[in-house]
Amino acid sequence: MKTETRKDEIINTAAKLFKERGYSAVTMRDLASAMGIKAASLYNHIKSKQEILKEIIISLAEEFTQGLELIQQSNTSSIEKIEEVVKLHVNITSQNTYGMASLNNDWMHLEERRDYYLKLRSNYEEELRHIIAEGVKNDEIIDENIEIMLFSILSTLRSLYLWIPKKDYLNPEKLSQQLSTVLVKGINKKIN
Amino acid sequence: MKTETRKDEIINTAAKLFKERGYSAVTMRDLASAMGIKAASLYNHIKSKQEILKEIIISLAEEFTQGLELIQQSNTSSIEKIEEVVKLHVNITSQNTYGMASLNNDWMHLEERRDYYLKLRSNYEEELRHIIAEGVKNDEIIDENIEIMLFSILSTLRSLYLWIPKKDYLNPEKLSQQLSTVLVKGINKKIN
DNA sequence: AAAAAAAACTAACATTTGTTAGTTTGCTTG
DNA sequence: CAAGCAAACTAACAAATGTTAGTTTTTTTT
Domain boundaries, chain A: 49-185
Choice among B14-23, B34-43, B96-105, B164-173 with the minimum mean pLDDT: B164-173
pLDDT greater than 50 at residue B80? yes
**Contact residues on chain A for B163, CB-CB shorter than 8 A:** 147, 151, 155
Helices A114-137 and A49-73: crossing angle in degrees, nearest 10, is 20
Give the torsion sign (CA, B39, B42, B47, B49): negative
pLDDT confidence bin for B56, thresholds 50/70/90: very high
Residues 6+ apart with CB under 8 A from B157: B85, B86, B89
* Beta carbons within 10 angstroms of residue B125's beta carbon: 13
Q: How confident is the model at residue B192 (pLDDT cuts 50, 70, 90)?
A: very low
Number of Cβ within a 10 Å radius of residue B169: 7
* Inter-chain touch B186–A185, beta carbons under 8 Å: yes
Q: What pLDDT does residue B4 have?
A: 84
**The pLDDT value given to residue B2:** 53
Q: What does the DSSP 8-state code read for residue A2? A: P
- Pick the residue from chain B with its C-alpha nearest to A133: B187
The answer, yes or no, to whether residue B44 has pLDDT greater than 60, is yes
What is d(CA B84, CA B112) in angstroms, rounded to the nearest whole number?
32
SS3 at position B2: coil
Under 8 Å CB pairs connecting chains A and B tally to: 135
Q: Is the pLDDT of residue B108 over 50?
A: yes
pLDDT confidence of residue B1: 45
Averaged pLDDT of chain B = 95
Q: CA A73 from chain center: how many Å?
A: 21
**CA B66 and chain centroid, separation:** 12
What is the model's pLDDT at position A167? 81
Q: What percent of chain B has pLDDT over 90?
A: 91
Contact B156 A158 (CB under 8 A): no
pLDDT at A192: 41
**How high is the pLDDT of residue A188?**
83
Measured distance CA(B139)–CA(B145) in Å, rounded: 14
Q: What percent of chain B has pLDDT over 70?
A: 97
Say whether pLDDT at B138 is over 90.
yes
Say which CATH architecture domain A49-185 belongs to. Orthogonal Bundle (1.10)
Q: What is the pLDDT of residue B68?
A: 98
Q: What is the DSSP letter of A23?
A: G
Q: A49 beta carbon < 7 A from strand D? A: yes
Q: Residue B113 corresponds to which amino acid?
A: R
Report the distance separating Cα B161 and Cα B90, nearest Å.
9
What's the rounded mean pLDDT across residues A125-154? 96
Q: What would the pLDDT profile of B3-42 be if each residue is shown by its tens digit? A: 688 999 999 999 999 999 999 999 999 999 999 999 999 9
| DSSP3 helix / strand / coil % (chain B, rounded to 5) | 75, 0, 25
* pLDDT for residue B45 is more than 80: yes
Q: Is the pLDDT of residue A18 over 80?
A: yes
pLDDT of residue A72 exceeding 60, the answer is yes
- Burial string for A22-52 (b: 16+ CB within 10 Å, else e) reads bbbbbebebbbeebeeeeeebeebbeebeeb
Which among A160, A187, A188 is the top mutation candidate for probing chain B, defined by the most B β-carbons within 10 Å of its own β-carbon? A187
Q: What is the DSSP letter of A141?
A: B
The pLDDT of residue B190: 65
Query: How far apart are alpha carbons A26 and B71 in whole angstroms?
Result: 40
Tell which wins on pLDDT, B167 or A135: A135
What is the rounded distance in angstroms from the CA atom of residue A173 to the CA atom of residue A187? 20
Residue A191 pLDDT more than 90? no
Residue B87 has pLDDT above 80, yes or no: yes
3-class DSSP assignment, residue B141 = strand
Positions of strand C less than 7 angstroms from a protein CB = 6-12, 16-22
